[in-house]
Amino acid sequence: NQPGLRGPLKDEVEKDLSTSALFVAGIGQLFQKYKIEGYEKPYAELQRHLTQYDQFVRGCHMGLFPSYYEPWGYTPLECIARGIPAVTSNLAGFGNYVLNEFPDCDKSGLTVIGRKDRPDDLAAGELAQKMFEFTRLTLRDRISMRYRAQGMAEHFDWRQLARHYTEAHQLAMQR
């Protein structure tokens, strides 16, 4: 048994919702296909808000999320998926995963600030230093970093990460 969606529409739904770019359009198509009444106005509002959010994030120079604790860390991931360099901390699950899998992540526009077992003033100093270094980049270097950040985001596509969930599920079933 595989975790996830089950039933006759499993493949179709997963295909429709497999990429974030098609996610909202996929929701609308499913509403239409299954004749969900009254969805038009809330769906239009959802599209408007998500478009504004996407434009807001893309308009930023850098996302700063040096959280004290965050189980995974979707906000830095949302940034790099849109080509915005981001900062997270090693107290976030996402930050820990990135450090383990991509030790040179800083070169790709994702900085992980060391906060674990460290005084706050040292972490704040590291954050300030990274922000200062970013302000010293040329326009060309910032544009290049945006492309590298967006490229790094591809490693976090569900199709890449699903294997971890499958392995964990299989391990749990064996126990």
β-bridge mates for residue 87, sequence order: 64, 111
* Residue 21 pLDDT greater than 50, yes or no: no
3-state secondary structure string across the chain: CCCCCCCCCHHHHHHHCCCHHHHHHHHHHHHHHCCCCCCHHHHHHHHHHHHHHHHHHHCCCCEECCCCCECCCHHHHHHHHCCCCEEEECCEHHHHHHHHHCCCHHHHCEEEECCCCCCHHHHHHHHHHHHHHHHCCCHHHHHHHHHHHHHHHHHHCHHHHHHHHHHHHHHHHHC
Q: What is the 3-state secondary structure (H, E, C) of 131-167?
A: HHHHHCCCHHHHHHHHHHHHHHHHHHCHHHHHHHHHH
More confidently predicted of 37 and 13: 37
Tokens encoding 169: 């599920």
In the prediction, which pLDDT does 127 show? 93
pLDDT in tens, 124-152: 999 999 999 999 999 999 999 999 999 99
Round the average pLDDT of the chain to a whole number and report it.
82
pLDDT of residue 18: 43
Instruction: Give pLDDT, residue 12.
Output: 53
Model confidence pLDDT, tens digit, residues 102-119 = 989 999 999 999 999 999
Query: pTM of the predicted model, to two decimals?
Result: 0.67
Percentage of residues in the chain having pLDDT higher than 90: 41
Ranges 73-82, 100-109, 163-172, most confident: 100-109
